Chain A
Amino acid sequence: MSFTEEQIIRYSRHIILREVGSKGQKKLNEGKVLIVGAGGLGSPAAYYLAAAGVGTICVIDDDVVDLSNLQRQILHTTGDVGRAKADSAKEKLTALNPDCRVISLHERLSAGNALEIIKEYDAVVDGTDNFPTRFLINDACIMVKKPFFHGGILRFFGQALTVIPGQGPCYRCIFGQPPPPGSAPTCAEAGVLGVLAGTIGVIQATEVLKYLLGLGDLLVGRLLTYDALSMQFREIQVKKNPDCPVCSDNPTITGLVDYEQQVCTLREGE
């Protein structure tokens, strides 16, 4: 595949980077990324990945746009309130970069469809707002050996971790199992400074691009944490759990389960 004149111009800032060049740009153009959740984290991640020329982006989200989302979910506009987030996302990403083939799935990622969907992609971005789905993605990615780019935000804090099956720890090595329903704050109970979604979502997108390009050091075995109030990043060394129920040599979890969902239930008018 050679670049069109329009692509040379669009991607010129990548092409002139020695570490990327035309070969790297082609890798991006052939890359396939799944974004789970078109919300706070998924929005900036998907937006920059589309801008970078990632060839195929699938956005899966069963939710519709709510006015209260717009404080941080930058793929959606006021006019999108009430629309399926997956469709709104597809419209914006395609408008930004027609090179990018965008697949929108207006459904929830579940134990029933996760493996089937994830196996089609090179990388999976965590843009979820709840622990059950996050554990589900982690487990599914380990099972089909796909890299998983975790991100999470709450209040003024954020974190990111990259899981490469067979290399470092997985999300479950570090966090064990989903917290029991009622113990973890849901987004209905905890606020978040909207801009945190951009900070962490863009770190996830950076990791995806580095992975597709084969560049640099990924956040494998290093949990990056961010405190916006003190404006400090910290790095916590995290190890693989030799008895991890999903990624150890003798896993006890060999199939996917849907944990009880505890998601944001606070909706305007409800």
Chain B
Amino acid sequence: MESIKISDTLDITDVVCPVTFARTLLKLEDMQVGEVLEVFLNEGEPLHNVPKSITNEGHKVILLEKAGNRYRMLVERGE
């Protein structure tokens, strides 16, 4: 399996909408185009909305997988 270099990690399991999305956006803003952010999120509303919203902002969700009782998402920063 191709290894992905993760530049930064963010845990948004302790906040709710819209702070989940806001914190993810702010973190991506501080990164370079092409860098990968690892995000841990809860199922339900965050899982339903955050990946979709991040994609709409021009970033690329490259992995979304269950990790224990939460989810792990890898996002590549877009332009």
Partner of B18, one of A3, A13, A22: A13
Q: Is the CB of B29 within 8 A of A12?
A: no
Interface of A is mostly: helix
Chain A residues near B63 (CB, 8 Å)? none
Whether A16 lies near B29 (C-beta < 8 A) is no
A-B contacts counted at CB < 8 A amount to 28
User: A103 in the interface, Cβ–Cβ < 8 Å?
Assistant: no
Chain B residues with Cβ below 8 Å from A3 are: 26
Which of chain A's residues have a CB closer than 8 A to the CB of B47? none
Question: Is there an interface contact between B25 and A9, defined as CB atoms closer than 8 Å?
Answer: no
Which residues from chain A contact B29 at a C-beta distance below 8 Å? 21-22
Choose among A12, A15, A18, A21 the residue with the greatest number of B CB atoms under 10 Å from its CB: A12
Contact in complex: B22, A8 (CB < 8 Å): yes
Contact A18-B57, Cβ < 8 Å, known A8-B19, A9-B15, A12-B18 = yes
Digit string of A3-44 for contact with B (CB within 8 Å is 1, else 0)? 100001101110110100110000000000000000000000
- When distances are taken between beta carbons in the complex, the residues of chain B under 8 Å from A21 are 25, 29
Q: Which chain A residues border B19 with CB–CB below 8 Å?
A: 8-9, 12
Name the CB-closest residue of B to A14: B22
- Which of A15, A18, A22 has the largest number of chain B CB atoms within 10 A? A15
User: Is the pair A12, B57 in contact by a Cβ cutoff of 8 Å?
Assistant: no
CA distance A11 to B22 in the complex (A): 9
Task: Say whether, besides A18-B57, A22-B29, A8 and B23 are in contact (CB < 8 Å).
Answer: yes
| Among all A-B residue pairs, the 3 with the closest Cβ atoms | A12-B22, A15-B22, A12-B18
Known: A8-B19, A22-B25. 13 other contacts (CB 8 A): A8-B22, A8-B23, A11-B22, A12-B18, A12-B19, A12-B21, A12-B22, A13-B18, A15-B25, A16-B18, A16-B21, A16-B22, A18-B57
7 example contacts (A-B, Cβ-Cβ < 8 A) are as follows A3-B26, A8-B23, A12-B19, A12-B21, A16-B53, A18-B57, A22-B25
Interface residues of A (CB under 8 A from B): 3, 8-9, 11-13, 15-16, 18, 21-22
